[in-house]
Chains A and B, each alone.
Chain A
């Protein structure tokens, strides 16, 4: 236990020393704060249409201007953050739950169970999931919960591989063998000995999965197959921005900037976390 806490405090120190990761982390915290408190921060309603107003360029009244229906863009981006971040976190959690359990079971029991489970992962890996997600959205309607499940169901494969690899290493350590010799039950073994020791790579991969998930959601929303109005994610905002960019370029540029900045922050934070937790593998 002692060694573990020093691992985490070491990692924490290295993370704080990494300026890019720290900046990424701060941007993320600010974004999460803005998203949670959007109803109190947003200066205008995100859905109130004022057709007479129309598209206004940015001004002191409307910080980032208004869209063609006279809705305040700043407020819409704030509410979009809620949807986009929610998709990122929920779908990543789905991937986490499936991937971690799959990887632990395969790695811990080994042998035939392992080879069958990992062969399934190999086969699924080769499948064209983007196309399948589009298919699911077309067939079962554009439902936000289905979107979460579908994206999560795609992203768990890499997680399962990583976790299995980690479990295989941890399993042969002396303390695990000692615990086995003492007759510790499987459940106890997972909870006390294996899980805490593979937490690092899981945290890193989860952080790096969130931007991928958000990209996928935005991609679907851009094609018109993701989040449906009146709700709007950043992907849908970019889609509307593209439609009217010739006259009203701010409708594309501000949502686009916000989205890119967020992905940037997530990637830098994830890379920093990886470097902090495992100084040996610094970058790919």
Chain B
């Protein structure tokens, strides 16, 4: 068991390093330097700028320096915002994005697994069809459409909720959290329904019923653990989607999180910021994939022997 986990970690570390190196060279391949964007700069100034940002060194030396600093958690200075380091910007935006993602996951888990479990238990009734149809709509309606529609209805038409900002008006966290969580609620509903249906047909459930346990105890005590395994294994990859979703949601609702910083950096061609955030996001995704793999191993005894 411990060995399996250690093996996974041993694979993850080189992958992160490869991602970092790949990103570094990709960004360096970009046509044009970071400073020749808007106006012509005198050659001397250009030279100084390049020296300050270590761009005059040979590529391999730059790479060595960057990786060396990276391991110590230093992502270098931002090209666009002089005087601010990328690390500093990541840690300004990160708490906001984390909070948003956290609420979204809570919304998704509660609504999704509740709907899925009820649909499985009440299979082929209205309580199955209605939530599953809504879930299908939730999967087909992209975040960048759902968000504006919610803004249009609750913010502009009903004037019930604030439509932008974060932590500035009461209730301004509600719409972003729902927008980001909705698609996951839909996926989780489908996954937990499928998982529960399969678990409910197992022999040990029949045994539990046969010994006279009330149905709700059968479900809560016996079926849930097996039935929710697909949901747990979905949570890791879901983080990747959540990060992508945060780009959209933070842009729509003007939330000062890391996702918006990244999209802005992509527009401004702030290469060090892109480089830093890409590596940071990648590490985060790889880490959460690892975490959900381990959680699945812990929850499902059969998977332990398979790996």
Contact = CB atoms under 8 A, between A and B. Distances in A.
A252 B156 CA distance: 14
B278 A245 contact: no
A128 B15 CA distance: 11
Interface in A192-225: 211, 215, 218-219, 222-225
Contact of A242 (B12, B148, B282): B148
B27 A135 contact: yes
Nearest to A119: B11
A267 B140 contact: yes
Contacts of B142: 215, 218-219, 222, 259-260, 263
Contact of A219 (B139, B243, B244): B244
B41 to A, nearest CB: 22
Interface string A137-154: 111100000000000000
Interface residues of B, number: 46
Contacts of B297: none
Contacts of B252: 242
Contacts of A183: none
Contacts, number: 112
B285 A245 contact: no
A252 B148 contact: yes
B266 A134 contact: yes
A135 B23 contact: yes
A225 B266 contact: yes
A284 B191 contact: yes
Nearest to B27: A139
B243 A127 contact: no
Interface in A248-284: 249, 252-253, 256, 259-260, 263-264, 267-268, 283-284
Given A223-B251, A252-B152, A128 B144 contact: no
Q: Could you say which interface size class chain A belongs to? A: 35 or more
A131 interface: yes
B266 A126 contact: no
Top 10 A-B residue pairs of the complex, sorted by shortest distance between their CB atoms: A263-B140, A139-B30, A222-B144, A130-B244, A128-B285, A242-B148, A256-B145, A128-B282, A264-B140, A138-B266
Interface of A: 123, 126-128, 130-132, 134-140, 211, 215, 218-219, 222-225, 235, 238-239, 241-242, 245-246, 249, 252-253, 256, 259-260, 263-264, 267-268, 283-284
B144 A218 contact: yes
Nearest to A283: B194
20 contacts: A123-B11, A127-B285, A130-B240, A130-B241, A130-B244, A131-B282, A135-B26, A135-B266, A219-B244, A242-B252, A245-B156, A246-B152, A252-B145, A256-B145, A259-B142, A260-B140, A260-B141, A263-B142, A268-B136, A284-B191
A220 B42 CA distance: 36
A61 B248 CA distance: 35
B152 A249 contact: yes
B29 interface: yes
A238 B243 contact: no
B266 A267 contact: no
